[in-house]
Amino acid sequence: MKVIAPSILSADFSRLGDEIKAVESAGADWIHADIMDGHFVPNITFGPMIVESVRRVTSLPIDVHLMIENPNDYIPAFAKVGASLISVQAEASIHLNRSVQLIRECSARPGVVLNPSTPVQTLEWIIDHVDYVLIMSVNPGFGGQAFIKNSLDKVRALRQLIQQKNLKTLIEIDGGVNEETITDIAAAGVDVFVAGSAIFGSRDYQTTINAFRQKIGA
So which residues are the catalytic ones?
34, 174
Q: Binding to ligand DX5 by residue 140, rule CB under 6 A?
A: yes
The residue at minimum Cβ distance from Zn ion is: 65
Q: Binding to ligand DX5 by residue 138, rule CB under 6 A?
A: yes
Site for Zn ion in 27-56 (CB under 5 A): 34
DSSP string computed for 15-82 = GHHHHHHHHHHTT-S-EEEEEEBSSSSS-B---HHHHHHHHHH--SPEEEEEESSSGGGTHHHHHHTT
d(CA 59, CA 20): 11
Shortest distance in whole angstroms from residue 29 CB to ligand DX5: 15
Which one, of 150, 208, 166, lies nearest residue 28 by Cα? 208
| Pairing state between β 109-114 and 85-89 | parallel
Q: Binding to Zn ion by residue 63, rule CB under 5 A?
A: no
Q: Binding to ligand DX5 by residue 61, rule CB under 6 A?
A: no
- Residue from 195, 208, 215, 216 that binds ligand DX5 (CB under 6 A)? 195
Per-residue contact string for residues 160-189; x = within reach of ligand DX5 by CB under 6 A: --------------xxxx------------
For residue 21, give Cα distances in angstroms to 4, 72, 213: 15, 30, 19
Q: Binding to ligand DX5 by residue 144, rule CB under 6 A?
A: yes
**Secondary structure letter of residue 84 according to DSSP:** S
Site for Zn ion in 75-94 (CB under 5 A): none
Q: Which is nearer to Zn ion, 29 or 34 (CB)?
A: 34
d(CA 87, CA 89): 7
Residue 29 corresponds to which amino acid? D
Q: Which is nearer to Zn ion, 38 or 160 (CB)?
A: 38
Q: Which is nearer to ligand DX5, 168 or 203 (CB)?
A: 203
Q: Binding to ligand DX5 by residue 34, rule CB under 6 A?
A: yes
DSSP string computed for 105-126 = HTTSEEEEEE-TTS-GGGGTTT
Shortest distance in whole angstroms from residue 7 CB to ligand DX5: 4
Q: Binding to Zn ion by residue 215, rule CB under 5 A?
A: no
Q: Give how many residues touch Zn ion by CB under 5 A.
A: 3
DSSP string computed for 148-203 = -TTHHHHHHHHHHHHHHTT---EEEEESS-STTTHHHHHHHT-SEEEESHHHHTSS
Residues that bind Zn ion (CB under 5 A): 34, 65, 174
Residues that bind ligand DX5 (CB under 6 A): 7, 9-10, 32, 34, 65, 67, 138, 140-141, 143-145, 174-177, 194-198
